[in-house]
């Protein structure tokens, strides 16, 4: 056989292997299937005593809860412009709806079979119970509270005009695991999973010592009537603030800035240390979508605003997406852990050199990168103007003034989300590499 023939056979074999890999091994989405979210929550009939499953119907009696839900990302999980753009990028594959519109009542097709776990080969048929308007309610009341014609909840003594049943899961973190613990699939080598917040939850301090569950931070306690005219009792706000809420991000982090020496002389080199602490989250920060990351920035400007020096470092996950998904590096902060970031700068030797120097220190949180945002706008119709990055800490320090006095002033207020006041941050220190996740 000639060399050309051998080469042709080799190329044909390689092409066949590539075909089999992409059609039978590598998933078409960035996660694997798990039985509890591989299918929608089965069709739910309207419980006796109610006129519909619509959230607005529930709001007739549970008004405060309904208004809170309307303001939440759960209520916007389908219409969210970021989800819509990413979903379009994934060819509107049906499986994404199992978390974003989780009830079978909300989905246009019924999934009868998923051959070999290949979501693109799923056998579908039209859903006669599909309600397009109800789909837009996304993670609606019934997604958590209605099963088999009964309203489930955290109380065992409810008196209501509809059937009720106590479900102990409402008092545990287990309730959140279905959608906040998405697992890896074949040819996907994440450290935890693409969206593994539940699996990241810290059990020693937050769970065992403090008794916190997911709801402790994301559904804060409140005392009020659960329904109009009902008794005042301990309950929870239905807000689920998280990674899209700047205030929630601010509450999770604490920041300190120090200088060595504290009173540098002209011409002397000063070393600045910014310490970032995961002071208030019971999981890694950032968490959720693997695109999320923090940047820690140092910027020196003169009195005219001219930039003289800049340093930026990133905290997040570095992932190789093709040909297999491999999580290369993860430098996110564990609960109660801290990390130091260092910056050095030599001060001017005399007053003739740039005056009015300011060191700007800043910590920003990013839902995605600028390039990803531009790609979603250009190729996948992202139209929403929702912010995709937030400044969560910012402090200016004079380099040619009284630096010692400036450093002695209290840091900008750090509000802890759930960590007990006085809880000491623990964990190692590491210098991370520059770049964008």
Whether 370 and 75 have beta carbons less than 8 Å apart is answered as: no
- Tens of pLDDT along 363-381? 999 999 999 999 999 999 9
- Contact present, 238 and 65 (Cβ < 8 Å): yes
Structure tokens at 256: 């300190």
Reported as a single tens digit per residue, the pLDDT across 209-250 is 888 999 999 999 999 999 999 999 999 999 999 999 999 999
Asked if residue 258 lies in contact with residue 404, where contact means CB atoms within 8 angstroms, the answer is: no
Between β-strands 325-330 and 188-189, what pairing exists: parallel, antiparallel or unpaired?
parallel
Please report which confidence band the pLDDT of residue 267 belongs to, taking 50, 70 and 90 as the band edges. Answer: confident
- 34-53 mean pLDDT: 95
* pLDDT for res 352: 57
Q: What angle do CA 57, 241, 255 make, to 5 degrees?
A: 170
Look at residues 109, 77, 105 and name the one whose alpha carbon lies nearest to residue 93: 109
SS3 call for 91: coil
124 DSSP β-pair partners: 111
pLDDT in tens, 30-40: 999 999 999 99
User: What are the tokens at 52?
Assistant: 């519909």
Q: Does the pLDDT of residue 415 top 70, yes or no? A: no
Of the pLDDT bands very low, low, confident and very high (cuts 50, 70, 90), residue 435 is: very low
Q: How confident is the model at residue 355 (pLDDT cuts 50, 70, 90)?
A: confident
Q: Are 68 and 46 in contact (CB under 8 A)?
A: no
Using DSSP, state whether 259 is helix, strand or coil: strand
Q: Tell me, what's the pLDDT at 426?
A: 32
Burial class (CB in 10 A: 0-12, 13-18, 19+), 417: buried
Strand order through the sheet with 338-346: 253-260, 269-278, 338-346
* Per-residue pLDDT at 420 exceeds 50: no
Q: Cβ(98)–Cβ(143) under 8 Å?
A: no
End-to-end CA separation in angstroms for the chain: 49
- Of 114-123, 284-293, 383-392, 416-425, least confident by mean pLDDT is 416-425
Tokens of 15: 């092409």
Q: Which of 332, 258, 337 is nearest to 291 (CA)?
A: 332
Report d(CA 228, CA 380) in Å as an integer: 44
**Using omega within 30 degrees of 0 as the cis cutoff, is the peptide bond preceding 97 cis?**
no
Whether the bond between 323 and the residue before it is cis, its omega within 30 degrees of 0, is yes
Alpha helices in 61-157 (DSSP H): 63-70, 81-89, 97-100, 132-135, 141-145
pLDDT at 102 over 60: yes
Q: What is the predicted pLDDT for the residue at 353?
A: 66
Distance CA 392, CA 414 (A): 10
Band (pLDDT 50/70/90 cuts) for residue 413 is low
Nearest CA to 75 out of 58, 95, 88 is that of 58
**Mean pLDDT, residues 258-263 taken together:** 89
Give CA–CA dist 288/276, Å, rounded. Answer: 19
Mean pLDDT for the stretch of residues 110-114: 96
| d(C-alpha 255, C-alpha 275), whole Å | 6
Q: CA–CA separation, 347 vs 287, rounded Å? A: 38
Q: How far apart are CA 54 and CA 75, in angstroms?
A: 12
Residue 229 corresponds to which tokens in the numbers above?
A: 């005219």
Q: What percent of the chain has pLDDT over 70?
A: 93
Tokens of 114: 């998923």
pTM of the model: 0.88
Asked if residue 392 lies in contact with residue 253, where contact means CB atoms within 8 angstroms, the answer is: yes
Domains and CATH numbers, the chain: 26-236 (no CATH), 246-408 (2.60.40.10)
At 153 the three-state DSSP class reads strand
What's residue 207's pLDDT?
80
- Using CB atoms within 10 Å of the CB of residue 81, give its burial: 0 to 12 exposed, 13 to 18 middle, 19+ buried: middle
């Amino acid at each position: 056989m000639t060399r050309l023939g051998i080469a042709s056979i080799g190329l044909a074999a390689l092409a066949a292997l590539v075909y089999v890999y992409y059609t039978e091994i590598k998933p078409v989405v960035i996660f694997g299937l798990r039985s509890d979210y591989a299918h929608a929550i089965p069709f739910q009939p309207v419980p006796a005593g109610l006129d519909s499953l619509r959230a607005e119907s529930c709001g007739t009696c549970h008004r405060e809860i309904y208004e809170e839900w309307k303001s939440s990302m759960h209520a916007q999980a389908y219409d969210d412009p970021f989800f819509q753009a990413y979903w379009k990028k994934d060819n509107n594959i049906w499986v994404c709806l199992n978390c974003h519109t989780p009830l079978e009542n909300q989905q246009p097709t019924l999934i009868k079979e998923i051959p070999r776990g290949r979501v693109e080969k799923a056998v579908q048929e039209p859903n006669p119970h599909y309600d397009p308007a109800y789909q837009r309610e996304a993670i609606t009341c019934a997604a958590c509270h209605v099963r088999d014609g009964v309203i489930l909840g955290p109380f065992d003594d409810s008196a209501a005009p509809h059937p009720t049943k106590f479900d102990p899961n409402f008092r545990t973190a287990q309730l959140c695991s279905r959608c906040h613990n998405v697992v890896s699939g074949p040819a996907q080598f994440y450290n935890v999973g693409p969206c593994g917040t539940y699996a990241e939850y810290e059990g020693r301090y937050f769970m065992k010592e403090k008794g916190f569950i997911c709801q402790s931070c994301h559904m804060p306690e409140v005392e009020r009537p659960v329904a109009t005219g009902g008794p005042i009792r301990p309950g929870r706000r239905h807000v689920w603030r998280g990674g899209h809420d700047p205030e929630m991000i601010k509450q999770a982090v604490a920041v300190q800035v120090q200088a060595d020496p504290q009173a540098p002389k002209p011409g002397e080199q000063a070393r600045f240390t910014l310490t970032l602490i995961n002071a208030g989250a019971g999981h890694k920060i950032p968490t959720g979508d693997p695109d999320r990351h923090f940047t820690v920035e140092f910027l020196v400007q003169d009195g005219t605003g001219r930039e003289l020096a800049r340093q930026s470092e990133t905290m997040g996950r570095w992932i190789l997406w093709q040909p297999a998904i491999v999580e290369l590096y993860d430098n996110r902060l564990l609960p109660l852990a801290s990390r130091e970031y260092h910056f050095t700068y030599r001060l001017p030797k005399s007053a003739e050199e740039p005056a009015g120097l300011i060191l700007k220190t800043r910590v920003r949180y990013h839902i995605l990168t600028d390039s990803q945002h531009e790609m979603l706008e250009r190729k996948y119709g992202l139209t929403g103007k929702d912010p995709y990055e937030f400044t969560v800490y910012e402090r200016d320090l004079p380099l040619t003034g009284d630096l010692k006095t400036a450093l002695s002033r209290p840091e900008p207020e750090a509000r802890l989300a759930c960590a007990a006041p006085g809880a000491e941050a623990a964990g190692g220190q590491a210098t991370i590499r520059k770049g964008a996740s």
